[in-house]
Structure formats: structure tokens, C-alpha cells
Amino acid sequence: MLRRVLTAAIAGVALTSCSVTANDPPPAGERVVTLVTHDSFGVSPEVLDAFKAETGITVKPLASGDAGELTNKLVLTKANPLGDVAFGVDSTFASRALKEGVFAEYASPEAGKGAQRYQLDPPNRLHAVDVGDVCVNIDVVAFKDSGAPASYADLADPKYKDKLVVEDPATSSPGLAFLLGTIAEFGESGWQDYWSKLKGNGVKVVSGWEEAYTQDFSGSSGKGPRPVVVSYASSPSAEIGDDGTPRTKALLDTCYRQVEYAGVLDGAKNTDDARKVVDFLLSDKFQADVPGKMYVYPSREGVALPEAWTKAAPLPAKARTLPASQVDANREQWVQQWRTLVQG
């Protein structure tokens, strides 16, 4: 799951701004669609209220852990779905959900506005809602008098010894994305040698994004000792100084693309309204709300980003990816190999 605590921890924006929660019983006779999500789902109350006013549908979010936990729950409960729609299965876990038949076929008329760029399967069971690129970030001030790294290869250079902090891919979504990015960059025959070099160059591994970014990274509020961290392409937009200049920078040659999807659950009790909710997640109104509430990029084309993003956090033009099926087939093996190499 993309760790959107960035909005709360740094920018002071509430992440889960929903007018209805999973524990609130709906009024009698009200049309309700249960939206099974990851824990970082966020939407402005007025956006949900406008959708309800237009359609008569109340969206009831049901938080179900991070992307991995969400996918596991959807698979385990597919015979008796937890809800009508699911959002938050990302490109790392999508192939498993598709293979297990979690989602029903539905081609949203809104998908042609951009979501189709990230389509995974011809039956259109999953629709891309947002894009979040995991990239190496640097503390600009820390490198003002010396050259900063710009690539994966640079991070193994002795001049950057003891400067990089990363998240554990076994416990962190950005950590896993960074690992996958190095595999995409160096191939299955070269990534382990690269990580051996990082280990020799003093890379620090922590359990999650919060610890890495807010405690170890020198460019954040924690003012830690390390000026290089694995975070997101959007992170610099939350680090604008009083002079209007970003204090941090994402290295756009180190980005790995994560896409989050939504779909109608197979066996949903409320299929017709569930389809309307998928359309809503791809609509202009919801997509315009995505950057401010979930700190990721909208999948819909032509949606304006916040002013700070256009200056400090443009969507990387070329992010690395791996086929979802390849990730699904090798993820556990790669993580175990990483553990043996880096932590063993």
C-alpha cells in the first residue's frame, strides 16, 4: 500500500475523510455500496455527498489493511464478498486477485479517459484509479556543496557511503517497490550484486516509510542523519520552504510505478450500484480529489495537479515497471533472497 501518511504527518491533511464509516448502519431503505479499501483510502466529504445527491447511493468504506492484506482478504472471502466494490489492490498484487477470480467483468465508460493506459486484462475487471511512483528522494540542502546522486548506480558509489536509508521490502510497500525497481534496472542476474554493493556502502534498512522518512531522512521534519531516502515522486510537494523552493527532490531516474485499481467484486449483492461507484472513482470529481487526499497521481488524463505538485512533483515520464504476473510469481522468492543477502 502506498503510505499516504505523508499528507497527515507532513502536510497536516486528514487521510480518511469519509462521511460514512464501515460501522455506521445505513438508514432504512437507503441504497448503500460497501467499498472495501486499504487503510489509506481518503476522499473529501463534499465529493461523497455530491455523488450521493446525484445518484442516491451512499458509499460505505470498509478499511481492510494494506494492499497485501486487502488482496488476501478478498481472495479468502471471494465466495462471500466483504462488499460490492474493492479499491486499493495495486500492481504488485493484482495478478493474484485476477487469477483467483475476485473481480467481475465490467467495462466502465469512464475508463477511456486515461485508466485504460494501465489496463491489466482484456475483460476489464480492474480499473486504474491512481498512480504512485516510488523514487529515491534527496535532501537538496545536504548536497548544495557537492554533487548529488542521480541514478541507482550512483547510490553504490563510495562518495555516498552511509547516506541512504531504505525500507524493508518484506514489511513495506515502498521498500518492495524499490527492490522491484532494482530488479527491473539490473535484471534477475544483476540485482543481487547491486544490493551487495549497497550493503557494503552502508545502506540502512528500517521497517517502514514513517521511520525512514520522518526519523532517518535529513530533509524531513525528523532531521535525521541520512540525506537520501526511498519515498515517493510526490513527496517534495510537501517540503516547500517559505521561499517557495522545495527542500527535497525526487530522483526521477530511480522511480518504480505502482498503480492502484478498483473493480466490482464477483458475487456482489448490489452489482448495478457497484458499477456506478467504479464510474465515480474514475470521474473528474473524484480524480481531482485524489492528489490532496491520497497523495498520489490521478489516472484520468487532464486532471489538474495542485500548484505545488506542478513545480515540485511532476509525474515521472518514465518509471520502471515489471509485469504483474512476473512479480506475483517471484515476489516471495525475491524478498527471501534479499533477506538472506542484506540481513542474513
Write down the CATH number for the domain with range 5-131+258-312. 3.40.190.10
Q: What is the pLDDT of residues 22-45, one digit of tens each?
A: 444 555 568 999 999 988 899 999
Identical fold for domains 5-131+258-312 and 132-256+315-343, yes or no, is yes
**What pLDDT, on a 0 to 100 scale, did the predictor assign at position 83?**
97
Residue ranges of domains in the chain: 5-131+258-312, 132-256+315-343
Work out the average pLDDT over 126-140.
95
**DSSP strand E in 161-218: where?**
164-167, 204-206
Band of the pLDDT at 2, cuts 50, 70, 90?
very low
Q: Is the pLDDT of residue 184 over 70?
A: yes
Residues 289 and 46: their CA atoms lie apart, in Å, by 10
Q: What is the pLDDT of residues 288-310, one digit of tens each?
A: 999 999 889 999 999 999 888 88
Q: Is the pLDDT of residue 245 over 90?
A: no
Q: What is the pLDDT of residues 143-159, one digit of tens each?
A: 998 899 999 999 999 99
Work out the average pLDDT over 309-335.
90
CB 97 within 8 A of CB 221: no
Work out the average pLDDT over 131-149.
94
Mean pLDDT score across all residues of the chain: 89
Q: Is the pLDDT of residue 214 over 60?
A: yes
**What pLDDT, on a 0 to 100 scale, did the predictor assign at position 15?**
33
Band of the pLDDT at 174, cuts 50, 70, 90?
confident
**What pLDDT, on a 0 to 100 scale, did the predictor assign at position 28?**
58
Q: Which residue has the higher pLDDT, 221 or 2?
A: 221
**What pLDDT, on a 0 to 100 scale, did the predictor assign at position 11?**
37
Q: What is the pLDDT of residues 79-106, one digit of tens each?
A: 999 999 999 998 888 888 999 999 999 9
Residues 344 and 326: their CA atoms lie apart, in Å, by 25
CB neighbour burial string for 283-314, b if at least 16 within 10 angstroms, e if fewer: beebbbbbbbbbbbbbbbeebebeebbeebbb
Q: Which residue has the higher pLDDT, 332 or 66?
A: 332
Topology annotation, domain 132-256+315-343: D-Maltodextrin-Binding Protein; domain 2 (3.40.190)
H-run or E-run covering 123: none
3-state secondary structure of 221: coil
3-state secondary structure of 336: helix
Residues 148 and 252: their CA atoms lie apart, in Å, by 13
Spacing of C-alpha 202 from chain mean position: 27
Q: DSSP class of residue 11? A: S
